[in-house]
Amino acid sequence: MKVTSINQRKDGNFNIQDACGKNYAAKRILCAVEPNLMASIFKKLIPKKTDLGKAIASDAFQAHPGIKFIIGYDKAYWKEDLFTGMCVVLGGKKVITECQGVPLTVSFDATCNVDNTFPKLSGIICGKVAQEWIDIPTHVLQEQLLQTLADLVGKSWPKDGVQYFKMKAWAGEKAAMASTLFSIGNMRHLHLLRKPQMDEKLFFAGTATANKFVFNMAGGAGAGQRAAAQIIKAIKPETFSVNNMEHFLSY
């Protein structure tokens, strides 16, 4: 069901309409979509004076395109040089005219010891950096990314030892479009989605709202348990003890 509009009635309940024109009535709503999509759905519904309303009004949940990459090497050169493979870059020097910084936000060791495949480095280019680089020809982006890694370690192996290179721009995926995960600086508002809103009538779930393992499958499952517990508590407060509720709120 694709929801097209949600309105609150005078009695506090909700009218929901889907893309087929069907109408539904609900006392409570649980939303588990991407935060940027949630903002577009509830922008007119959530009071602007609340913290969540202010965050939505300021486009705090605006999503950005993300570019993910994975590089396979013939051996784990970074371990030989006593590196972990993990690095974080905020900006960096200007390497091409069209972009202000280098094409890298974070990288990490993605080697899987189970399937005995090539040692791998993986990472993400996100935020404004991704917005600048997403329209740059792939071969230029790849060349500059490898050069950035080489500059960081002071060695040539990031370029010379490459066995394969794969890159995915998530902005091209219709199902994903963009993600709050790639919105550097905006994740500080996600804690607002962990709390019931509108007098415990509106609840949020989804991996972006998790306390643990955020943006992972485990985080999504835990956030679902937390939201379910919050709804049950709103309906029957006597259902949970303080300790039990604290357990679910930790997800």
Domain of residue 141, CATH code: 3.90.660.10
Residue 221 lies in a domain: yes
Query: Which range in 54-58, 190-194, 221-225 is most confidently predicted, on average pLDDT?
Result: 221-225
User: By 3-state DSSP, what share of the chain in percent is helix, strand and coil, each rounded to 5?
Assistant: 35, 20, 45
User: At residue 213, does pLDDT exceed 70?
Assistant: yes
User: How does pLDDT run across 51-90, given as a tens digit for each residue?
Assistant: 998 888 877 777 666 888 999 999 999 999 999 999 988 7
Q: Positive or negative CA dihedral for 205, 208, 211, 215?
A: positive
pTM of the model: 0.65
**Domain assignment of residue 25, given as a range:** 3-62+186-249
Higher pLDDT, 113 or 105: 105
CB atoms within 10 A of CB 201: 17
Higher pLDDT, 203 or 39: 203
Residues 191 and 245 in one domain: yes
Q: Which of 18-22, 30-34, 222-226, 245-249 has the weakest average pLDDT?
A: 245-249
Q: What's the domain count of the chain?
A: 2
Band the pLDDT of 227: cuts 50, 70, 90.
Answer: very high
List the structure tokens of 118: 């090539």
User: How does pLDDT run across 142-184, given as a tens digit for each residue?
Assistant: 999 999 999 999 999 999 999 999 998 876 665 554 455 555 5
Band the pLDDT of 134: cuts 50, 70, 90.
Answer: confident
Strand partners, 7: 15
Residues 190 and 243 in one domain: yes
Q: Quick one: which of 182, 162, 212 has its CA closest to 68?
A: 182
Q: What HEC string does 7-63 produce?
A: EECCCCCEEEEECCCCEEEECCEEECCCHHHHHHHHCCCCCCCCHHHHHHHCCCCCC
